[in-house]
Structure 1
Amino acid sequence: MWDKPQLLLWLANLLTALALLLLFYSLLFLTVHSPLFPVKRIKVDGNLEHITREQLQYIVKNEVKGTFFTLDLDKTRQAFEKLPWVRKVEVRRRWPDKLEVNIEEHRAIARWGAAGLVNVHGERFDAASGEELPVLEGPEGTEKEMVDGLVALTAALQPIGRKPTHVWLSDRRAWRMQLDKQLIVEIGRDSARERVARFVNAYSHSLARLQQPFEYVDLRYPNGFAVRLPDYRPEAANASAPVARPKPVRASA
């Protein structure tokens, strides 16, 4: 081997290349982990209505660790996503010392039962809210279906100036709603939108003209709906005739 100059030259070049590679790696490692490249600026963007400055400062102080190069973007994103009203977070580096954080908040559209909220995308989340919101109750996994139903019902009721404050969906997918915390409307399962549209069309020239309060409407009829009048008392034919039991009043569309 020692009498082969070509082989010795090749071996020397190889060792030199390895030494240079190790030197380059060492310099790169020291540069990446050097305190000379700290994250000096953190910019938070987003339409934030519920997330406070104090919450953001807590995350920055306790969760954002590392230099500009060693900062774990996934862990940083997950740290911000722990905040109750945060739906989605995007984190980016900006040379030479800036971190950009874009936060999307949940937009609550309703409450889910006694606890929890539902956003406009039909996603449940846990957060505190003093806002007056409609309540949804239904089987697990129907959040998106119920949000879509709430939006459709709200739009359908706009012409009569009423709005749903409580919506139920049964296991058999039958709909029921409460309007303005007073009137219960039984919609049923089949042709729900058509039934509500029929109710809205007939409301102004039937229900709105009733001289006594009503608390329950049943739309589960093929050509009309029934109304329960708590104070309804039919007039007796004479004083000695027995008084008939109150019956629902059916209004035809």
Structure 2
Amino acid sequence: MQSVKPEIDGETGDWPAGTRPSRRIVLPRFLRRPARILSRLDLRMPGHVGTKSLALFFAATAVTGMLAGGHTMTVVSAFTAWSGLAIDEVEISGQSETSEIDVLEAMAMGEYPSIVTFDAITARERVEKLPWVKRVTIRKLYPDTLQVAISERQPFAIWQHDGAVVLITKDGKVISDHVDARYKNLPMVVGVDADKRADEFVTLLKEFPTFAPRVTAGVLVSGRRWNVVLRNGVEIMLPEEDPASALIQAVALDDGHGILSREIAAVDLRLPSRLVFRLTEKGYEAREALLKARKKNGSNT
């Protein structure tokens, strides 16, 4: 029997079509057993695994891009909000002058308000910058509620300066430029830096409880001393040193002679050894008429 070997085509060393022998890969000895086990397994890919894997890939790419672009907190907020931890209710209490809209804007909860990522400390600091707000407490009630308790500042006096009239606190902080009839009984201070020294003027008036209701304002002059303006327009000019003693003198004169109810424009008490009255125009005319009458009566005698 003669064996037939396939002939090689020319010098290329190619085998005729369909006659090329198969090549076997010889694995190292230590890999042969695992290879036999894997060859016996029936490994099948689940349906649509390619589509799902592609979607997962694009989602992972999007998240990676957002993280790389500095949007980490936005991603986390959105994810936790969609997971049932979105802020659905904000309970605000304790405020009467501050609007709820102003409070919510100051809290800046963001496009995806999540109770997990909401920064209560930073929000509290922003709310406390509102004019009327003195102190704020913010509590998180999981899963979806914020409680905001506000303590507001109390108006202490009215400050008039540069043509403006505003409400101020005891320490001189401006609260509001809206001064309505509710605050008509508050003491008024006038002048540069009078806001910082309003407590000083109010403390002075407290020593004269029956006289204080007759006062309409305290004017700080050159940042050194006070003029007390009464409701009838009389101005009491107090000294820089020991103004309380000077005011005692003015009140005593009024109690004994009703001097502050007469036709005078001002009482000058700046010098302890001298008391000066400045008359109104009507008071001046009355004084001139009195002097003429006395002179006439004196000439007749």
Asked if the contact 2:239–2:271 (Cα under 8 Å) also holds between the matched residues in 1, the reply is no
Distance apart, 1:117 and its partner CA: 2.8
- SS at structure 1 position matched to 2:244: helix
Distance apart, 1:209 and its partner CA: 8.3
- Summarize the Cα distance change of 1:59–1:119 in structure 2 as closer, same or farther, 3 Å threshold: same
- Summarize the Cα distance change of 1:92–1:196 in structure 2 as closer, same or farther, 3 Å threshold: farther
Return the letter of the residue paired with 1:173: R
Deviation string, structure 1 residues 60-106 (Cα, Å, up to 9, x no partner): 8x833331121122442344345443344332334444322222323
State the partner residue of 2:109. 64
- SS at structure 2 position matched to 1:158: coil
Asked if the contact 2:211–2:251 (Cα under 8 Å) also holds between the matched residues in 1, the reply is yes
Return the letter of the residue paired with 1:89: V
Q: Which has the higher contact order (CA 8 A, sep 6+)?
A: 1
- Summarize the Cα distance change of 1:41–1:148 in structure 2 as closer, same or farther, 3 Å threshold: same
State the partner residue of 2:87. 39
The unaligned stretches of length 5 or more in structure 1 are 1-28, 243-253
Asked if the contact 2:237–2:270 (Cα under 8 Å) also holds between the matched residues in 1, the reply is yes
Alignment of 1:80-159 (within 5 A): 80-81=127-128, 83-108=130-155, 109-113=157-161, 114-115=163-164, 116-131=166-181, 132=184, 133-140=186-193, 143-144=195-196, 146-159=197-210
State the partner residue of 2:222. 171
Alignment length (residue pairs): 208
State the partner residue of 2:291. 235
Larger radius of gyration: 2
- SS at structure 1 position matched to 2:123: helix
Return the letter of the residue paired with 1:123: K
Identical residues among aligned pairs (%): 20
Return the letter of the residue paired with 2:189: L
Asked if the contact 2:236–2:269 (Cα under 8 Å) also holds between the matched residues in 1, the reply is yes
- Summarize the Cα distance change of 1:72–1:152 in structure 2 as closer, same or farther, 3 Å threshold: same
Distance apart, 1:154 and its partner CA: 3.1
Distance 1:50 1:125 in 2: 10
Distance apart, 1:192 and its partner CA: 1.1
Distance apart, 1:123 and its partner CA: 1.5
Return the letter of the residue paired with 1:128: H
Higher strand proportion (structure 1 or 2): 1
- SS at structure 2 position matched to 1:178: strand
- SS at structure 1 position matched to 2:251: helix
Distance apart, 1:153 and its partner CA: 3.4
Distance 1:201 1:33 in 2: 76
Alignment of 1:217-236 (within 5 A): 217-222=267-272, 225-230=275-280, 231=283, 232-233=286-287, 234-236=290-292
User: What's the Cα RMSD here?
Assistant: 3.4
Distance 1:112 1:79 in 2: 28
Larger displacement relative to structure 2 (171-180 or 85-94):
85-94
Return the letter of the residue paired with 2:215: P
The unaligned stretches of length 5 or more in structure 2 are 1-74
Distance 1:151 1:238 in 2: 47
Deviation string, structure 1 residues 131-169 (Cα, Å, up to 9, x no partner): 3354423434x533x211231233234223534322222
